[in-house]
A = this chain, B = another copy of it.
Amino acid sequence: PVDLRSDTVTTPTPGMRAAMARAEVGDDVYAEDPTCRALEERVADLLGTEAALFTVTGSLANLLGVRALVRPGAEVLCEARAHIARAELGAHAAVFGVTSRTWSHPRGLVDLAAVRELLVPDAGPYFVSTAAVSVENTHNFGGGSVQPLDSLRALRELTAASGVGVHLDGARLWHASAATGVAPGTYAACADLVSVALSKGLGAPVGSLLAGPAAAVADARVWRKRLGAGWRQAGVLAAAGMYALDHHLDRVPEDHANARALADRLADVAPGIVDPAGVQTNIVVLDLAAAGIRTGAAEVAERARAAGVLVSVLGPAALRLVTHLDVDEAGCRHAGEVLSTALK
Interface residues of A (CB under 8 A from B): 6, 8-12, 17-18, 20-22, 25-27, 29-30, 55-57, 59-64, 72-75, 80, 85-95, 97-104, 114, 117-118, 120, 125-128, 199, 205-206, 221-222, 225-237, 240
Q: Which residue of B lies closest to A102 (CB)?
A: B101
B227 with A228: CB separation less than 8 A: yes
A103 with B104: CB separation less than 8 A: yes
Q: Which residue of B lies closest to A82 (CB)?
A: B101
Residues of chain B contacted by A80 (CB below 8 angstroms): 101-102, 117-118
Most-contacted residue by chain B among A8, A73, A240 (CB, 10 A)? A73
B99 with A104: CB separation less than 8 A: no
Looking at the assembled complex, report how far the CB atom of A19 sits from the nearest CB atom of chain B, in whole angstroms. 9
29 pairs of residues in contact across A and B, judged by CB atoms under 8 Å:
A9-B30, A11-B233, A12-B236, A17-B236, A21-B21, A56-B228, A57-B228, A59-B225, A60-B229, A63-B227, A73-B89, A73-B94, A85-B99, A85-B101, A86-B128, A87-B126, A89-B225, A89-B226, A90-B128, A92-B93, A93-B97, A93-B100, A94-B99, A104-B114, A205-B233, A206-B236, A227-B228, A236-B236, A236-B237
B226 with A229: CB separation less than 8 A: no
B95 with A95: CB separation less than 8 A: yes
B227 with A8: CB separation less than 8 A: no
Report Cα–Cα, A227/B114, bound state, in Å.
29
A9-B232, A93-B100 known; 8 other A-B pairs, CB under 8 Å? A80-B117, A86-B120, A88-B226, A89-B128, A90-B97, A91-B227, A104-B117, A206-B237
Looking at the assembled complex, report how far the CB atom of A188 sits from the nearest CB atom of chain B, in whole angstroms. 21
How many chain copies? 4
Report Cα–Cα, A233/B120, bound state, in Å.
28
Residues of chain B contacted by A118 (CB below 8 angstroms): 80, 104
Given A87-B127, A93-B72, A128-B90, do A56 and B59 touch, yes or no (CB 8 Å)?
A: no
Nearest 5 CB-CB pairings of A with B? A60-B228, A205-B233, A73-B90, A94-B97, A93-B99
